[in-house]
Amino acid sequence: MATVTFESFIKEQGIEIPAIQRDYVQGRGFTIEEQDKREAFVTKLINAICSETSKPCHLEFIYGSINAVSKNFIPLDGQQRLTTLFILHWVVWNMSSEDAKKTYPLDKISGFKYETRLSSLSFCQNIVSRELLHVEGAKNIGQKLKGQPWFSEDWKYDPTIIAMISMINFIEEKLQK
């Protein structure tokens, strides 16, 4: 079986998380069990991209169908893992040098759409289409995000966006170690 990367997959066809899917929860980390799962999965992903001898990171089955109209992949299973991969790419991009950002523009992952609600869709579109402005006193990317002029106050109450920002901060912290 051929190895497919997130980048090559999203370039071939977009990924559209449909409204029927639950909110993104992998980033929450409310319970010890959730924290342990998040830690194990993110560590597995980071080891796969940071190791000199990295091997493909198998994510088990991610399956769904292709939307006949948009031609996007609609996952029936794998939404949480795909969302975490999207967040990982976005965080790595934001932590990269200006030269690296030019080599790997954010539009490479702009085909990711989160349609569980309009606020989640808008948030994902904004983070891939706008570079983050400096925010005085921001200690992490999540705080920087919340300080952007386009960041809606309503998004602070969207469970998917809250979990995404939590995962953004978690990945950033792990990558800094």
Q: Which among 107, 163, 172 has a CA at the least distance from the CA of 138?
A: 172
Classify residue 131 as exposed, middle or buried by CB count within 10 Å of its CB (0-12, 13-18, 19+). exposed
Residue 160, phi then psi, degrees to nearest 5: -65, -45
Contact 119, 152 (CB under 8 A): yes
Tokens of 110: 């702009």
Which amino acid appears at position 132 of this protein? L
pLDDT in tens, the chain (177 residues): 566 788 888 888 899 998 888 888 887 878 888 889 899 999 989 988 887 776 777 787 888 999 888 899 999 898 999 999 999 999 999 999 999 988 888 888 889 988 888 999 999 999 999 989 999 999 999 999 999 999 999 999 999 999 999 999 999 999 997
All structural domains of the chain with their residue ranges: 6-176
Handedness of CA 65, 68, 80, 60 (dihedral sign): positive
Beta strands 63-66 and 15-17 are unpaired
pLDDT the model gives residue 171: 96
Spatial separation of the C-alpha atoms in residues 65 and 45, rounded to whole Å: 25
Query: How far apart, in whole angstroms, are the C-alpha atoms of residue 155 and residue 162?
Result: 8
Give me the pLDDT at residue 160, please. 93
- C-alpha span between 167 and 27 (Å, rounded): 4
Tokens of 24: 């993104």
Confidence at residue 20, expressed as pLDDT on a 0 to 100 scale = 82
Element (H, E) at 158: none
Residue 113 has φ and ψ, to the nearest 5°, of -125, 135
CA angle 153, 135, 97 (to 5 degrees): 120
